[in-house]
Structure 1
Amino acid sequence: MQPKRMLLVERLAYLAVIAWALWNVTFEGYRFAKHVRSVTHLPGLVYEGPVLGINDLSDYQWRSFRASAALLAGAMAGFVCISRLARALPAGRQPLMVAVSLLFLVVLHGSSAIFVLLLLLGGYGLSRRMAKVPYGLLAVWAYACATLLLVRIKNGFSFHAVSPSLSFLDHHSGLLRWHIHYNLLILRLISFAADLHWSRSPRMQQHQQHQQQQQQQQQAPRAAASPVAAAGNAAGGGGAAAAGAGAGVARGGGDGGLLGLSRAMEKELRTRVETPLPLSYYGLGSFLEYVLYPPLYIAGPIITFNSFASQRLLAPIKQLGATQVIAYILRAALAWACLEGLTHALPYNSIAKHRVLERLTASAFTPAPRPLHYAITGYWVLIFMWLKFTVIWRFFRAAALADGVVPPENMTRCVCNNYDIE
């Protein structure tokens, strides 16, 4: 048999095994879930009418997001509209967007937004102070870890602990608990501090000067080809560094997985991450706009400060168009539809959360679950978790894309397309 034909037969055999396994885990999973619902009560199931039937909403995070999705979509759409209108006022764009972000913060956390701002301002001041100090970034890390640990131990701060006369402010805590989202703020603070520290390091400044001299000597026509380079030259610095970083990341390649776009866009994003900005762009306004950016504030994904600021303050990603954004929104909607189908047909999150298999094993009136049922339960819970985070992250990433900001994609692969469970 020819090698190509043998390879084809081998692949067909693999596909047959995978198809059999998926059919078995789906059919047996549906049959067993139906049996469980008939013999015991599953908390967290909601009846949604004769058409939709039962829906597994036992996961608090998914239930909360699903219930507030319409409100969040309206808020994101409103923010994107304001942001795009603000671009007509270049001088006043950033103050307006910072004001909108602060309003968003107050709506989310109420009076507790004061604690968020104080902690952020402390981190900003420390980052600026330690920017040129050797190992100064370690001080920012220590501040971030210490405040995060304190916030988690205290479950947030209260105004009553500051002064009993301020206790009334504790009754206006907003829609979300601020300390739950503080870990994401810490990641953004560290990104800002790291980018600022490296941009002011002597090695980076020497590298920029060296690159600029090379560009002037060679008179390379592509020195300003990148949007980052062109905007950096207009701002008085950064263009040569952008070209140098672009040459460096060219070796990294890429599979074009971001939005299904070309390698050129992925290379451009990597260039923006590695390209230091002019020092004037590391100000308080840019910092607040970055850490409080509404589309990415609640759940991420995390974008580095250099990449965010270059897209907001210098030049947007030109390869990003309406077609790509709409296609990504449709992909997010498809993932949501898959999750809805899963929670309606296979309520295994409720089965696992409430230890139904253990109850059935201990019961003398129902057959004990087989080992296959334990494996199926773990599999579908894993699928549910992956889909849940995929939907949430893509929802907010789609809002950022609609605003012209391209953050990284957290979910680049399917949960079933991994080599190991890790």
Structure 2
Amino acid sequence: MFKTAHDASSESNPNYEKYSDLLSEGWFGYKVDNSDGQYAGFRNNIPSLVIVICIYLPASHFFNYLMNRSAVPEGSTPISTNVQQERGLPFLSRAWFFLGFSFIYLYYMYGLSLLKIMAIVSINYLIAKLGKRYNSRWIPIATWIFNIAILFLNEAYHGYNFADIHESLAWMDEYSGFKRRWDVNFNFTMLRLVSFNMDYYWSLNASRGSVLEGREKVVPQTDKERVAISAHSRDYNYIYYLSYALYAPLYIAGPIMTFNDFISQLRYPKAISLRTAGLYIVRFVFALLAMEWMMHYMYMVAISKRQAWDNDPLIQICMIGLFNLVMIWFKLLIIWRFFRLWALLDGIEAPENMIRCVLNNYSALGFWRSWHKSFNLWIIRYVYVPLGGSRYAMYNIWAVFTFVAVWHDINLKLLAWGWLISLFILPEIIAGRIFSKQKWGSWPYYRHLCAVGAVGNILMMMIANLVGFCIGLDGVKHMLTDLVSSGQGWVTILGCCCGLFVGAQIMFELREAEKRRGVFLNC
């Protein structure tokens, strides 16, 4: 498979000239495919980001050390959690450092566009607080209307210009920072804005026993409790809100944390061992080097950009589509793990994204849960469950994936992706109910029936993601036409299906091995 993809990228391939201008000079005299704009933006700026981290982490931990030392008089013992509850909750001084650094960081990134970010973030906060004063039931409605509108306005006006407000402000557009398009990364901030308002709304409407007040304060013990248990009412303030919404390590790309989880980890820090952090660094460096090898060995992104596969053998066309998805998975894994590592070294443990290899998925639902896991958890908490959850699964998945598509980007290609995902999930939901394990599990060939379904799922997931993130509807139509228009193409499809059938059986056994080890990833 790797050799086939390499052959499709070699200079001897007749299509090489169609995309060779997209290649750059790489390591050891090789060409490198750095034509993916999203990953190139990250890869080219790794040295700068590392410098920022090397400044941030010592400053953050030193500030935290000074604040903890000043809070405990010399010769005395630290105040226990129970005593803190008696005296009232102390102010989280780290929030000031987070906020101060975030202002500097975002001004460097976006210049005076920071004012636009602050305006949107502040209006969202006012929606929550004014909603409490007048009628809290309006908080969810106003929050969603406002934030969805911001997504469309950001796209329509490309981040806005000060000159459009008034010509006398045109000079402010010249100070746009390192990245002019601040709105490109604002989608992640929008998720945090919704999280704060909804967590605040639920804290207002929760029963007294579940709201953490005074002596009734319960210290969350698990990750689920950190998310589900409302914070103290005084923790829903403007300073904590800003420090959460603008938290520098997770601002650009996440992973996504809920407000409750973020504040809980500040108030009751999690113990992150040096061994855990060290292994995470090693794993990240290994992934980064593996990605470099793939970018030098096969040029899948450049080929897909120019759709340069005319007259290629059908097996090469299949591998171009497959490794396109692998490259997308790999780049996102690296970006998300980089920023999660930054937060982890700062003492904040965000949810892990990409908990499975992209090729270790046979379920459309499981694929979604294991791909952008933190976003999936956010969707479940703030969209899926409020819409009725599993009771109306076949209906609300259309609303869920329409929102997911619009959140990624407002264009027809991603809407088609969202609707294809919804359409392709339906057969799995229906088949899961008809051929449930409780009814059919004792049938000797039940495992093989599931493997046949897995083959269909994998093919549909590949098609949907190629449409949404690789070559679009026209490119997929062209690729499928090449495959089904000849006898050789059908033989290739049959061979791929047989290979996927075997792969599904291996995945089933991997899940069983996880259960024997006590690992339950639910995907």
Where on the TM-score scale, by shorter chain, does this alignment land: which range? 0.7 to 0.9
3-state SS of paired residue (2:231): coil
> Equivalent of 1:315, from 260, 268, 279?
268
Q: Does 1:103 align with 2:104?
A: yes
Distance 2:176 2:258 in 1: 29
TM alignment of 1:37-76, pairs within 5 A = 40-41=16-17, 42-48=20-26, 51=28, 53-76=30-53
Distance 1:39 1:150 in 2: 41
3-state SS of paired residue (2:142): helix
The answer as to whether partners of 1:137 and 1:197 remain within 8 angstroms in 2 is yes
The answer as to whether partners of 2:210 and 2:229 remain within 8 angstroms in 1 is no
The answer as to whether partners of 1:98 and 1:289 remain within 8 angstroms in 2 is yes
Distance 1:282 1:39 in 2: 58
Deviations 1:167-208 (A, max 9, x none): 01101111121111121111000000111111111xx23333
Unaligned runs of 5+ in 2: 69-90, 363-456, 462-523
Q: Does 1:194 align with 2:193?
A: no
Q: Does 1:389 align with 2:332?
A: yes
* Matched residue type, 1:379: L
Aligned residue number for residue 299 of structure 2: 347
TM alignment of 1:353-368, pairs within 5 A = 353-357=305-309, 361=310, 368=311
Aligned residue number for residue 520 of structure 2: none
Percent identity of equivalent pairs: 28
Where has structure 1 moved over 2 Å in runs of 4 or more? 35-41, 90-97, 205-209, 235-240
The answer as to whether partners of 1:109 and 1:174 remain within 8 angstroms in 2 is yes
Deviations 1:34-57 (A, max 9, x none): 1555763223211235x2511111
Q: Does 1:300 align with 2:247?
A: no
* Matched residue type, 1:185: T
Aligned residue number for residue 264 of structure 1: none
Aligned-pair RMSD on alpha carbons? 1.9
> Equivalent of 2:146, from 124, 135, 143?
143
The answer as to whether partners of 2:249 and 2:343 remain within 8 angstroms in 1 is yes
Q: Does 1:160 align with 2:156?
A: no
Distance 1:237 1:189 in 2: 29
* Matched residue type, 2:108: V
Q: CA deviation at 1:135?
A: 4.5
* Matched residue type, 1:26: F
* Matched residue type, 1:171: E
The answer as to whether partners of 2:158 and 2:183 remain within 8 angstroms in 1 is yes
Which of the pair has the greater relative contact order for Cα pairs under 8 Å at 6+ separation? 1
Aligned residue number for residue 323 of structure 2: 380
Distance 2:216 2:10 in 1: 62
> Equivalent of 1:183, from 184, 187, 207?
187
Deviations 1:139-187 (A, max 9, x none): 1111111122111111111110111111011011111211111211110
> Equivalent of 2:232, from 278, 283, 297?
278
Q: Residues 238, 331 of structure 1: CA spacing in aligned structure 2 closer, same or farther, 3 A cutoff?
A: farther
Distance 1:160 1:151 in 2: 16
Q: CA deviation at 1:329?
A: 1.4
The answer as to whether partners of 1:238 and 1:276 remain within 8 angstroms in 2 is no
The answer as to whether partners of 1:189 and 1:291 remain within 8 angstroms in 2 is yes
Q: CA deviation at 1:317?
A: 0.8
Distance 1:271 1:68 in 2: 37
Aligned residue number for residue 444 of structure 2: none
The answer as to whether partners of 1:238 and 1:278 remain within 8 angstroms in 2 is no
Deviations 1:262-281 (A, max 9, x none): xxxxxx11110111111111
Distance 2:154 2:215 in 1: 39
Q: Residues 31, 164 of structure 1: CA spacing in aligned structure 2 closer, same or farther, 3 A cutoff?
A: same
Q: CA deviation at 1:300?
A: 0.7
Distance 2:360 2:60 in 1: 37
Distance 2:225 2:339 in 1: 23
Q: Residues 350, 405 of structure 1: CA spacing in aligned structure 2 closer, same or farther, 3 A cutoff?
A: same
Q: CA deviation at 1:100?
A: 1.3
Distance 2:58 2:286 in 1: 25
3-state SS of paired residue (2:207): helix
Aligned residue number for residue 327 of structure 1: 279
The answer as to whether partners of 1:105 and 1:113 remain within 8 angstroms in 2 is yes
Q: CA deviation at 1:77?
A: 2.6
Q: CA deviation at 1:237?
A: 5.0
Q: Residues 59, 200 of structure 1: CA spacing in aligned structure 2 closer, same or farther, 3 A cutoff?
A: same
The answer as to whether partners of 1:77 and 1:399 remain within 8 angstroms in 2 is no
Number of paired residues?
A: 336
Q: CA deviation at 1:386?
A: 0.5
TM alignment of 1:255-266, pairs within 5 A = none
* Matched residue type, 1:125: L
Q: Residues 384, 113 of structure 1: CA spacing in aligned structure 2 closer, same or farther, 3 A cutoff?
A: same
